[in-house]
Amino acid sequence: MDPYERLGISRTSSMKELEQAYAEKLEAHPDESEERTEIERAYVVIKYEKKQKNKRNKRTVGIGALVLLLAAGGGTYFFLNQEETPQAVERKKQNASFVIGEEEKKSEEKTDSKSSQDPETQQKPDSKAVSEQDYKDIQDISTLFFRELEDALTDRSVKGLSVSTDTYNQTFQGSLNDLVTGGYIFDGELSVKDIPQNDITIKGDQATVKATVDYSSRSYQPYLHERPESSTIVWELNLVKSGKDWLVNQRKSLSDSADGRGMEVRESVKGDIIDTVHQHAKEWEQAYIDKDTSAFTLFTSAAYLNKQQSYYASMNKRGVYWEGYLDSVEYSPASITVSEKATDLSATVEALCYYEGDYYREEDDSLEESDPGEDIPFKYYLKYDVKNERWYIIDSQPLKSFSQNDTTTY
């Protein structure tokens, strides 16, 4: 919702009306409610916008006054811009013969001398005010940035980011797109601690801020994990000045309390992985009986299907068929690994499928031979499809033996 609508005021409302509406809304909603959080966020956004608007208005008034002053002194301006005589030009050259830089040095020496005599004049009041205002603006912008960042993580969109550069927004949107692809969600809250002035460094049109942010939860894949515990990240923000406004241009982590604290994979996920291997083994049984690769729905790589088709061609050449069934699947729980990247959730598992069956002659259904097949464990490589919400096998590799001694039967 638009922040002005949230507080029930218009864009032309005064600061007094803003403060009154904010106070009334806070009274109407209890602490720590979702509505109260939205009200506080709207208040910060509107206050910042009005502050920037006031600064722009002051600049406009100043420019207007200067124009009027020039207009009032038009005659003098014209006189000073008349063509000067050669004598006047020569006098100017003589007066400037000591060079401008030297003149500035003398001026500085006078200022330093005066400053040493009068400590109160070491810094001009207007210069000090501008500097303090820059620090205050950067503190406000940094706080607002993380409030907006919370919405961006929740909505997976940078449309609401108003105090960051286009460069930052474009890069961050790419990261948000990856989270969408991987099925990650953010349902937490961000709380920015007060930023002391000594954590802000300003150099010309660039600034660096160290901000500490508490996360009630991090982004996570709800299929893979429980909602993660809270954590604290210290961020470094790099800001640039655009006109009179400061904008966040880069953000990088300096420290993270969650480092080394991985999110455990749900046991149900491991169950789904071995269930996928078992279902594939059942499909292999049906495909081998029918000599038809269309039975495979979970392992459909061209290389794998071509390999299976070669087995069927060999059976047809011999004039035999196989008749049997899947007896059991032995697998190693310790061999299950899950790798998660925003765009790629993958897993591996080691398993051995046991089949019972024999080969028969097609001409008279007589026994050709008992199945001489060797029981070999395989390492299966799987990938999770977020859209279809299931695992698929993308490759397999024969093993000499299980790498772990913890096998169990499915």
pLDDT tens digits along 354-387: 999 999 999 999 998 766 667 899 999 999 999 9
Percent of the chain topping pLDDT 90? 60
Give the Cα separation of 231 and 219 in Å (integer). Answer: 11
Give the Cα separation of 141 and 149 in Å (integer). Answer: 12
pTM assigned to the model: 0.62
The pLDDT tens digits of the residues spanning 179-219 come to 899 999 999 999 999 999 999 999 999 999 999 999 999 99
Radius of gyration of the chain measured on its C-alpha atoms: 36
Instruction: Provide mean pLDDT across the span 166-180.
Output: 94
What pLDDT is stored for residue 276 in this prediction?
Answer: 98
**Higher-confidence residue: 27 or 60?**
27
**Higher-confidence residue: 226 or 63?**
226
Give the Cα separation of 269 and 347 in Å (integer). Answer: 10
What pLDDT is stored for residue 247 in this prediction?
Answer: 96
Residue 7 has pLDDT above 90, yes or no: no
Closest by alpha carbon to 317, among 359, 375, 284, 366?
359
Instruction: Provide mean pLDDT across the span 4-15.
Output: 77
Residue 13 has pLDDT above 60, yes or no: yes
- Give the pLDDT band of residue 312 (cuts 50, 70, 90): very high
Percent of the chain topping pLDDT 70? 78
What pLDDT is stored for residue 152 in this prediction?
Answer: 96
What pLDDT is stored for residue 172 in this prediction?
Answer: 95
What pLDDT is stored for residue 305 in this prediction?
Answer: 97
Instruction: Provide mean pLDDT across the span 230-240.
Output: 96
- Give the pLDDT band of residue 1 (cuts 50, 70, 90): low
What pLDDT is stored for residue 18 in this prediction?
Answer: 80
Total length of the chain = 410
- Give the pLDDT band of residue 91 (cuts 50, 70, 90): very low
Q: List, as one string, the DSSP characters of 25-56.
A: HHHHS-TT-HHHHHHHHHHHHHHHHHHHHHHH
The pLDDT tens digits of the residues spanning 47-88 come to 767 666 655 554 444 444 433 333 344 433 322 233 344 444
Pair 142, 237: CB distance under 8 Å:
yes
**Higher-confidence residue: 1 or 324?**
324
Cβ within 8 Å of residue 191, ≥6 positions away: 213, 214, 216
Q: List, as one string, the DSSP characters of 90-153.
A: HHHHHHTTT-HHHHHHHHHHHHHHHHHH-GGGSS-HHHHHHHHHHHHHHHHHHHHHHHHHHHHH
Distance, C-alpha 377 to centroid of its chain: 40
Residue 118 has pLDDT above 90, yes or no: no
Angle formed at CA 35 by CA 32 and CA 39, multiple of 5 degrees: 100
What pLDDT is stored for residue 15 in this prediction?
Answer: 78
Pair 151, 194: CB distance under 8 Å:
no
- Give the pLDDT band of residue 291 (cuts 50, 70, 90): very high
Residue 350 has pLDDT above 70, yes or no: yes
Mean of all residue pLDDT scores within the chain: 81
**Higher-confidence residue: 197 or 3?**
197
Pair 235, 254: CB distance under 8 Å:
yes
